[in-house]
Structure 1
Amino acid sequence: MQIDFAVIGGSFAGLSAALQLARARRRVLVVDAGRRRNRFVDEAGLTSHGFLTQDGRAPAAIAADAKAQLLRYPTVQWLDGTADDARVAADGRLAFRVGSVEVSAGRLILATGVRDELPPVPGLAERWGRSVFHCPYCHGYELGGGDIGVIAATPMAQHHAVMLPDWGRVTLFLNGVYTPSDEERAELARRGARVEATPVARITGEADVELADGRVLRMAGLFTQPRTSLASPVAAQLGCAMVDGPMGPFIQVGPTQETSVPHVFACGDAARAAGSVALAVGDGVMAGFGAHRSTMF
């Protein structure tokens, strides 16, 4: 299959990028493996927040509407599947495979997203996206100003614990991950966050933290710091430069979302240290603009 522009990843960033190209009357292929990062929120019956006009809607509903709107453009094709075996062809075009389909694109946008690796605390993974979160701006308000636990997975837990008192009463569970300095403890105290050094045994109930000494602290919700990795090997296969972020590597991009590989662009969670639906959509707009303009300038 020969195409002008290919977008790998059909979630918020990829849909946004493809929309800009469709509106420029260019032929666009979107390849989607159907593994949105925030699918666990849908499974829990929760909603997305912080995105203008869509606050309080299910992520799946937002994505479904976006896909339906995109597919109204006659120059858009959609291919369900996983992209692999990506390479720069001898003629400079970007080639990859989706199952038995070989694709050759003049420009390629990577919106592949990331995978989250949670700390090995029993009961934590089962509550991911339900009562365990990573973004206060996305889910902090719904906890109603109640008791919030921060399960340390990295020293970045300090950042979480200092932020979250705006959303509730915070307990930082160190869980043997790190020891705050005197300065850090003073910062936590100033923000009203308490520190619990006893290791966490497991998470039970809705968001109850059972400690190694048998105490159970009931929380309205929990936050932790997942380690992220790129959800697709395509960026590495193409040789895109990476950046080591605080939670994991992501694709290095320039002002118009261009990568280190000519004619390859990237957007969404795969191309920034942190993300949200609104940021992914904005990055996708710029990636679409950048890919289109690169054919002219």
Structure 2
Amino acid sequence: MSLGRALRKVLVIDNGKPCNRQTPHSHNFITQDGETPGAIALKAREQVQKYNSVHFFEGTAVTGRKSESGFEIEAQTGEIFSGSRLVFATGLRDIMPPIKGFAECWGISVLHCPYCHGYEVKQEKIGIIANGDVAFHYAQLISNWTADLILFTNGKSTLTEEQTRIVLKHNIQIIEKEIDSLEHKDGYVRQVVFKDNSVSPVKAIYSRPAFEQRSGIPKALGCELTEQGLLKVDNLQRTTVKGIYACGDTSSGRAVSVAVSTGTMAGAALNNHWREEEFS
């Protein structure tokens, strides 16, 4: 939208498969609280398409290379597009752990962010699947939404003695059994099933699975990644490669409102830098 309002000719390559498409509702986004991710994306597209210089291509970008005029991007269907600047909003791919039912519940009742989903399961019996420092952080944070917490370390706990003492002091049970599956109905978890066939009923689970960049093109073009695996950007959303910007989950946090704000910044900053070059 920033680039369209700046009269820039823009092509958006989008396959319509965002990582949050399984999530039933998006929250903590002023004016959009409770909307489905699909509805938010559709409204955004309808509004952006009102700017005549912005065009959409339904497909997946698979390769990219530098060219004399800037960059070339090839789609999965073989089309090649060229441009002098690139903005990557390609997002992340979550790597599901080998727990049956986890993927089916992800984004529905297996959650990653209490600010996005915690209110809807407040004061319920909640599980945490994590270990070590991540487990301790989740226990500390989620206990603001409910006092009925269970920590599943899915194997021997790697919490420090001090962390264990604090967790137990707040009446949070620690279960070190290995998890076999999540019993659920339509993505809503009912109970955790352990490999010894015992179970633990819960209403929802917090977990933070590993992730990777959904697209390998930025790295292939030389863009650096952070230690966390995000595209490294400055405060104007510029990557480490001149002419390439990044926004959304690919370079920032998971909240939709944050993704939108970084997109606004990327578009405005790109246009400003471009004008500086054109006006010299």
Q: TM-score, normalised by structure 2?
A: 0.91
Amino acid paired to 2:4 = A
Deviation at 1:230, TM superposition (A): 0.6
2-structure distance, mates of 1:256, 1:177: 43
Give unmatched runs, 5+ long, in structure 2.
none
Deviation at 1:132, TM superposition (A): 0.9
Amino acid paired to 2:207 = T
Out of 112, 136, 145, the position equivalent to 1:167 is 145
Deviations 1:265-285 (A, max 9, x none): 00111112x321011001111
In the alignment, does 2:199 pair up with 1:216? Answer: yes
Task: Identify if the C-alpha distance between structure 1 residues 95 and 210 changes in structure 2 by more than 3 Å, giving closer, same or farther.
Answer: same
CA contact (8 A) 2:12 2:56 kept: yes
Task: Identify if the C-alpha distance between structure 1 residues 80 and 90 changes in structure 2 by more than 3 Å, giving closer, same or farther.
Answer: same
Task: Identify if the C-alpha distance between structure 1 residues 47 and 177 changes in structure 2 by more than 3 Å, giving closer, same or farther.
Answer: farther
Out of 45, 70, 76, the position equivalent to 2:48 is 70
2-structure distance, mates of 1:211, 1:100: 47
Deviation at 1:183, TM superposition (A): 1.4
In the alignment, does 2:244 pair up with 1:261? Answer: no
2-structure distance, mates of 1:82, 1:270: 16
Q: Secondary structure at the match of 1:26?
A: coil
Q: Secondary structure at the match of 1:295?
A: helix
2-structure distance, mates of 1:101, 1:201: 44
Out of 206, 209, 231, the position equivalent to 2:214 is 231
In the alignment, does 2:120 pair up with 1:137? Answer: no
Deviation at 1:178, TM superposition (A): 4.1
In the alignment, does 2:73 pair up with 1:96? Answer: yes
Q: Secondary structure at the match of 2:235?
A: coil
Deviation at 1:193, TM superposition (A): 2.4
Q: Secondary structure at the match of 1:40?
A: coil
Q: Secondary structure at the match of 1:97?
A: strand
Match of residue 203 from structure 1 = 182
Task: Identify if the C-alpha distance between structure 1 residues 61 and 166 changes in structure 2 by more than 3 Å, giving closer, same or farther.
Answer: same
Question: In the comparison of the two structures, how many residue pairs are matched?
Answer: 270
Match of residue 12 from structure 1 = none
Identical counterparts, % of pairs: 34
Deviations 1:202-252 (A, max 9, x none): 21133311223433211110111111111111111211011121xxx1100
Task: Identify if the C-alpha distance between structure 1 residues 154 and 116 changes in structure 2 by more than 3 Å, giving closer, same or farther.
Answer: farther
* Deviates most, 54-63 or 144-153: 144-153
2-structure distance, mates of 1:124, 1:279: 26
CA contact (8 A) 1:37 1:114 kept: yes
2-structure distance, mates of 1:177, 1:82: 42
Match of residue 106 from structure 1 = 84
Q: Secondary structure at the match of 2:81?
A: strand
Task: Identify if the C-alpha distance between structure 1 residues 77 and 290 changes in structure 2 by more than 3 Å, giving closer, same or farther.
Answer: same
2-structure distance, mates of 1:290, 1:222: 39
Deviation at 1:50, TM superposition (A): 0.3
Give unmatched runs, 5+ long, in structure 1.
1-18
Deviation at 1:192, TM superposition (A): 3.9
Q: Secondary structure at the match of 1:251?
A: coil
1-structure distance, mates of 2:156, 2:273: 46
Task: Identify if the C-alpha distance between structure 1 residues 27 and 191 changes in structure 2 by more than 3 Å, giving closer, same or farther.
Answer: farther
Match of residue 151 from structure 1 = 129
In the alignment, does 2:165 pair up with 1:186? Answer: yes
Q: Which has the higher contact order (CA 8 A, sep 6+)?
A: 1
Report runs of 4+ in structure 1 exceeding 6 Å deviation.
Answer: none
Amino acid paired to 2:267 = G
| RMSD over aligned Cα atoms | 1.6
Match of residue 36 from structure 1 = 18
2-structure distance, mates of 1:210, 1:107: 50
2-structure distance, mates of 1:189, 1:55: 35
Deviations 1:93-129 (A, max 9, x none): 0111123321111111000000001211122112112
CA contact (8 A) 1:131 1:221 kept: yes
1-structure distance, mates of 2:259, 2:59: 21
2-structure distance, mates of 1:155, 1:149: 16
Task: Identify if the C-alpha distance between structure 1 residues 183 and 154 changes in structure 2 by more than 3 Å, giving closer, same or farther.
Answer: closer
Q: Secondary structure at the match of 1:186?
A: helix
Deviation at 1:262, TM superposition (A): 0.4
